[in-house]
Structure 1
């Protein structure tokens, strides 16, 4: 039998939605804010067809509304603008080499550090100035610094990814997990939990091992499940920055076997989140109240991202609801190299 005949044509998704029993909530300002934010991004990024239609199918505003269900409209708008900007930035950076990625980092970090005075002609930098000048009006000093620091980690990790892509390298599992926790862009989204709720947790809380473990479990669930959902589109364009590819290469697994392993990792990360929640210490009544808000925010990210992945057209086109029920993925043909 030839390798073409023996190659898989489909795989079955793990049932992550059933594994996650957290309540799904949606911000009441979802649709008004989502549509306004989309117009902002289309204009700011100067997207034209076919990119503009592809972007409209993303529905990042709906993801934002599920992850920040209690934010008021103005704070939700900043979060939604950031989310649209981040997805668009991610798509741009896929096409950048190491030097281009580094240049975008310099521009955006400059805009984060001084959104009012920083001068740039880059579209990414101009959009950064726009949403972050609104962020800093109410963002606390701790959460603002966490946001900028984690955005810097994002850009540096994407530089590593660009270098791997240029050299045709597939990292080992441990290296991949480390860099993926930063390329996911989840960490700045967690700083937005504080921003959206108008809280600013002390560094001693944010540096506590239990809090960091819960953040890591949330990041892992969002990131690893995304690797499963995005695998089909990515394999069709020969992209190897995906845990399924790493596992197939490192452990000699077939496609379904690797998907099942990542699914088990995802279920384990939800269990880890729950276990660590039971280990939370107390910092006193006032701080504990803010910590509870933050932990709920992480929980919203877990459940919100899972459901949104099927509502968005980014991974399954217009078949998302069918895929959610049937869990069968028919592999796309690979693009010519």
Structure 2
């Protein structure tokens, strides 16, 4: 197949950063995958070449190395579940059976000492991850991690129901579930662990902070859908991403869907920068660190998305950019026409006309 859609440089006002031990972390994660035999041998050989340790090192560029390694191992484990069972495995078209398997995995995450799935490599890896979560995090962070894992599992079962029916959800439903099935929420407790603090509930649960977190998830998952479109469309099986949703339900051509998806994420990125600046000005040092970590998560996913062989697919090169732009294609202040997220735009006063997004992100990051 040819290059398909050519993705232009994506708007990214967030500067790149990476942990200085990223090479070592990547090697350690490959070794961890082999130790716990994550996925089939063929899947594992693919995953260990995808620079997942480097991805984690971009998310926590100044974090504790032990937590960066934990995050890297966890992301690889998530791909073992998503690629091995949801997208490529038989359970991916059997939502009931998939729910049953994930329910038992959730029990392992809750209580790693419970004697279930004792011969399952994913369960063994999850037990190790949970013990390390306990070591580097608080009881509250461990509980939130398990809760987020439940959200992720629930959302991939929803996706499996569409895979079985060969159906495509509408944009509103897809947007809501993409906040969870992109597995961004399960990373959030590790953002705190990486820097050795715990965000207090009155800040974490504040509506505007929750919105900023969801915006980061939206940007990360929309970017992923844009960068992975070539790989996913080239597979012989079912695939689901924002571009396909826009084509199916908005009647757009592939090129129009790409342009629309980029405009949507650009508008959310502009709002994210404005909101996180506002929150940083009025928040604790811990909240400022958390918001900075959300920005690193966004940019880390972007840098990884345009460089990892997972998406560049050298055997069938994808038309994705190697650079970014500092100019959004859409910096409108009106809500996107997606009801489940339109409330995000109600949380801030109008942006001052004299201040640009670029100026704002320098203060946030």
Choose which of 4, 20, 44 in structure 2 pairs with 1:10: 4
1:264 maps to what in 2? Answer: 263
Q: Distance in 2 between matches of 1:89 and 1:79?
A: 15
The alignment status of 1:54 with 2:46, answered yes or no, reads yes
Q: Distance in 1 between matches of 2:47 and 2:124?
A: 19
> Is contact 1:244–1:258 with CA below 8 Å preserved after alignment?
yes
2:220 maps to what in 1? Answer: 222
Q: Distance in 2 between matches of 1:150 and 1:56?
A: 25
> Is contact 1:311–1:321 with CA below 8 Å preserved after alignment?
no
SS of 1:12 mapped into structure 2: coil
SS of 2:244 mapped into structure 1: helix
How far does the alpha carbon of each residue in 1:256-292 deviate from its partner, in whole angstroms, 9 at most, with x for none? 00001001111112111111113327777xxx01111
1:332 maps to what in 2? Answer: none
> Is contact 1:218–1:299 with CA below 8 Å preserved after alignment?
yes
Q: Aligned ranges for residues 167-186 of structure 1 at < 5 Å?
A: 167-186=165-184
Consecutive unaligned residues in structure 2, runs of 5 or more: 325-365
Instruction: Please state which structure has a larger fraction of its residues in helix.
Output: 1
Instruction: Go from structure 1 to structure 2 and tell me whether the alpha carbon gap of 1:263 and 1:322 turns closer, same or farther (over 3 Å shift).
Output: closer
The alignment status of 1:69 with 2:61, answered yes or no, reads yes
SS of 1:239 mapped into structure 2: coil
Instruction: Go from structure 1 to structure 2 and tell me whether the alpha carbon gap of 1:110 and 1:47 turns closer, same or farther (over 3 Å shift).
Output: closer
Q: How many residues align?
A: 316
The alignment status of 1:136 with 2:134, answered yes or no, reads yes
Provide the alpha-carbon RMSD of the alignment. 2.3
Choose which of 288, 294, 304 in structure 1 pairs with 2:300: 304
> Is contact 1:310–1:316 with CA below 8 Å preserved after alignment?
yes
Give 1:82 shift: 0.6
Give 1:118 shift: 4.9
Q: Out of 194-203 and 291-300, give the one that drifted further.
A: 194-203
> Is contact 2:311–2:318 with CA below 8 Å preserved after alignment?
no
Instruction: Go from structure 1 to structure 2 and tell me whether the alpha carbon gap of 1:101 and 1:278 turns closer, same or farther (over 3 Å shift).
Output: same
Give 1:45 shift: 2.8
SS of 1:314 mapped into structure 2: helix
Q: Distance in 2 between matches of 1:64 and 1:189?
A: 10
Normalising by structure 1, what TM-score?
A: 0.87
The alignment status of 1:102 with 2:99, answered yes or no, reads yes
Q: Aligned ranges for residues 1-337 of structure 1 at < 5 Å?
A: 10-16=4-10, 19-45=11-37, 47=39, 50-92=42-84, 93-94=86-87, 95=89, 96=91, 97-121=94-118, 122-237=120-235, 238-280=237-279, 288-318=284-314, 323-325=320-322
Q: Distance in 1 between matches of 2:30 and 2:64?
A: 18
SS of 1:61 mapped into structure 2: helix
Normalising by structure 2, what TM-score?
A: 0.81
Runs (4+) of structure 1 exceeding 3 A deviation are 46-50, 116-119, 281-284, 318-323
